[in-house]
Chains A and B, each alone.
Chain A
Amino acid sequence: MDSTFLGQVIVSGFLTGGLYALVAVGLTMIFGVLKIINFAHGEFLMLGMYLSFFLTTYLHLDPYISLLVIIPVFFLFGAFVQYGLINRILSSTSDIHILFTLGLSMFLQNAMLFIFGPYMRSIQTSYLKKVYTLGSLNINSTRLIAFIFALVITAILYLFLKESNIGRAIRACADERKGARVVGIDIERMYLIAFGIGTACAGAAGGLLMPFCYADPHVGTTFILVAFVVVVLGGIGNFMGALIGGFIIGFAEAFGSVVLPDSLKQVVTFGILVLILFFRPTGLFGKGRA
């Protein structure tokens, strides 16, 4: 493997990793605060792709400008889903949570299939024609922009959680729910905000993916599987874990597809899942809770 090849693979790992991190951060946050696994997270990403498709194709918005629409819309959408649906099952057992969100996932996939048909949607943007060259390395602008935005959004989210009052309240809920209630934090409001943020992350990731991926009603299933592995790898509920885990899986896939044929690259991802579950089930950064 010469240096160009190696360099290109590393770049590929970074670019993919950044996006996986964004998706996983949203998912891990929902679990951290609400203690539920949102199986419909991939479908929120899919919906983000479709919204981006419609905004770009029919309103002729720049795909990255359309993020300014997507993020708030999905925040509100997430809050609405939490208030109207998730709230009703929060007090149930975790198997009910799983069944419910799985059902929501299937409902969304089939609703989109019914309304928009099975056709693969992709957008034509001028960004696709622009390839940045760094020495002998080639990076398509759409992937680079997606990477940068994913990192920016994750960084903003991190600062929000660390520095702002609401952010601290959210973290308090995640760490110690009863204590948070005792000190007067409005738990129900934190749920709304956390679910909204998580959904907005998924929607934003969808919007960032649209320029170079194609959307169909089932595209969420590919991403949700990887997101889960990342979240488990990083420790469920751990922000940093999701971020770093995203990059680890991104690199694992990139190097995996060097050694193995493309058809088997997911073997590496799921191999890592198996190893983590065997040796450190709480994840790399998770607190020992098992």
Chain B
Amino acid sequence: MGKRSRKTNRSFVLVSILVGVCLLLSASTPILAQNQPKEIKIGILYCMTGPLASIARLCVNGHEMAAEEINAKGGIKSLGGAKIKFVVGDTESKPQVAMSAAEKLITKDNVVALLGPYSSGIAFPSTQISEKYKCPNILSGPVANQITERGFKYIFRTVYNATTNARVALDFVKWVGDKTGQRPKRVAILHEDTLFGQSTAKSWKEMLPKYGLELVAELPYQKTTQDLSTTIMKLKAAKPDLVLQVSYTNDAILVTRTMYDLDFNCMGRIPSGGGHIDPAFAKAVGKLADDLIVNHHYHPSFKGPKNKNQIANEKYKKKYGIDMDDYSGPAYDATWVLADALERAGSMDRQKVRDAIAATDINWNNSPVLRPFQYKFDATGQAPATGVFTQFRDGKMQVIWPEEYASAKVVWPMRTWKERGLR
């Protein structure tokens, strides 16, 4: 051996063993990591702060409940049982922030796909980012037509668009008019002025003539306004029979209260979902909301196969203290749609996931989804879906149309404040 001491010899052997072990490990870990992803990162992009925060919370509830079920059932099997992990992004209810939040989720957090936002005005810009980075994005809330009219390939919507929304509302008006003989003629449109309100109002305006209805007033307002007295005065002056409305939560509360203050009455008021389904609305206005007819994406009184809606609702109620609604229901479904697509894609590659979503073809008979519509996207990324109508009774919403889901008979025309004993 010569000059080397025993000590050096020993440390040389130790080091070589260490190096050898390291080499062995590093050689095998890439294989392990690639074949067995532990989790699939999905971006959840909603207005967690700002005026739309309460609605966003409900959407996230729906996603969470679905993800827990998916993971409890063993995750995505074609990806070795990888579990879904949400990365939450906050748009702050602001379009510019939505874009940067989407970009962060896609480029820094490397999410496989995005779910949300809920609001049209926020989703329109954020989906531009999703499309730019070729990240599949499923929407279960925004209705503006423009969202699926841009020739985008990565954006999918599971709820109706503004045109369908408007058509369904007017079909309802025709049905109730025929049923009761009380047909409205003069229509006023009261709407918040961002994309949600504007696109729905536009669709209504286009369709009114086809239903023989006359537009007598169009009144846009800011969703953050604290005073609508002059707007409601203008509404009163126009003497409409029917008021079609688009509002988020706080403005919905303000509109109802102001109509009460100024004693505004009409044959019927039909808000298009939005904030009227938020439990905060019913809580704030209580009986003032009675006789109001609201258009929904989802209602827990649907009668799906094997009583699935009631079972899901009980589970949701146990977890969150309230019934499933327009926000959590479609969000829950969208998560399952994504899981189904991931299962078929068998890969975390965004292009493969996108193609799998585009090939989706499931319904509530063959999958855990809760809505009675076929989840099959057309070339623009739109799935066929309509709505269901409820009417407030004693501060609670009862389904009145379509009649197969109805739990109460419709009250039409709307009673005046005096007739309801409130003034």
Contacts and interface: CB of A to CB of B under 8 A. Distances in A.
Given A5-B233, A213-B226, A261-B220, A138 B262 contact: yes
A222 interface: yes
A16 B259 CA distance: 18
Nearest to B90: A118
Interface string B286-301: 1000000000000000
Interface stretch (A93-101, A119-127, A148-156, A282-290): A119-127
Interface string A193-204: 000000000000
A257 B286 CA distance: 28
Interface in B217-247: 219-222, 224-231, 233-234, 236-237
Nearest to B54: A119
B122 interface: no
A262 B226 contact: no
Contacts, number: 82
A79 interface: no
A49 to B, nearest CB: 11
A262 B225 contact: yes
A57 to B, nearest CB: 12
Contacts of B262: 8, 138
Interface in B70-122: none
A226 to B, nearest CB: 10
Contacts of B220: 261-263
Given A124-B284, A131-B423, A222 B226 contact: yes
B177 interface: no
A209 B260 CA distance: 18
Contacts of A119: 53-54
A12 B284 contact: no
B49 interface: yes
A262 B250 contact: no
Nearest to B227: A16
Contacts of A213: 226
A216 B262 CA distance: 26
A122 B253 contact: yes
B261 A138 contact: yes
B219 A262 contact: yes
Interface string A3-34: 00100110010001000000000000000000
Interface in A182-238: 209, 212-214, 216, 218, 222
A119 B236 CA distance: 32
Contact of B237 (A5, A124, A222): A5
Contacts of B50: 118, 218
A79 to B, nearest CB: 29
Contacts of B414: none
Interface size class of B (residues with CB under 8 A): 35 or more
A140 interface: yes
A139 B193 CA distance: 26
Interface residues of A, number: 35
B416 to A, nearest CB: 14
Contact of A118 (B53, B236, B253, B423): B53
B193 to A, nearest CB: 5
A253 B231 CA distance: 12
A120 B230 contact: no
B153 interface: no
Contacts of B286: 124
A249 interface: no
A262 B51 contact: no
B222 A263 contact: yes
A39 to B, nearest CB: 20
B306 to A, nearest CB: 36
Given A128-B257, A131-B423, A216 B51 contact: yes
A144 to B, nearest CB: 11
Contacts of A120: 51, 53-54, 249-250, 280
B263 interface: yes
Interface string B386-423: 00000000000000000000000000000000000011
B66 interface: no
B224 A262 contact: no
B423 A262 contact: no
B236 to A, nearest CB: 8
B261 A262 contact: no
B231 A262 contact: yes
Contact of B260 (A2, A16, A131): A131
A134 B364 CA distance: 56
A266 to B, nearest CB: 8
A209 B263 CA distance: 22
Contacts of A2: 237
A263 B221 contact: yes
B229 A12 contact: yes
A222 B224 contact: yes
Contacts of B230: 8-9, 12, 254, 257-258, 262, 265
Most chain A C-beta atoms within 10 Å of own C-beta, residue among B54, B222, B286 = B222
A69 interface: no
A113 interface: yes
Given A128-B257, A131-B260, A9 B226 contact: no
Interface in B30-60: 48-51, 53-54
A139 B261 CA distance: 7
Given A124-B286, A214-B253, A262-B220, 20 more contacts: A1-B237, A5-B237, A8-B262, A118-B53, A119-B54, A120-B250, A128-B257, A129-B422, A131-B260, A131-B263, A138-B263, A140-B261, A216-B51, A222-B224, A254-B229, A258-B230, A261-B193, A262-B219, A262-B225, A263-B220
9 contacts: A5-B237, A12-B230, A120-B54, A138-B261, A212-B257, A261-B221, A262-B220, A262-B230, A265-B230
The 7 A-B pairs of least Cβ separation, nearest first, read A262-B221, A118-B49, A118-B53, A257-B230, A140-B261, A263-B193, A262-B231
Interface of A: 1-2, 5, 8-9, 12, 16, 113, 117-120, 122, 124, 128-129, 131, 138-140, 209, 212-214, 216, 218, 222, 253-254, 257-258, 261-263, 265
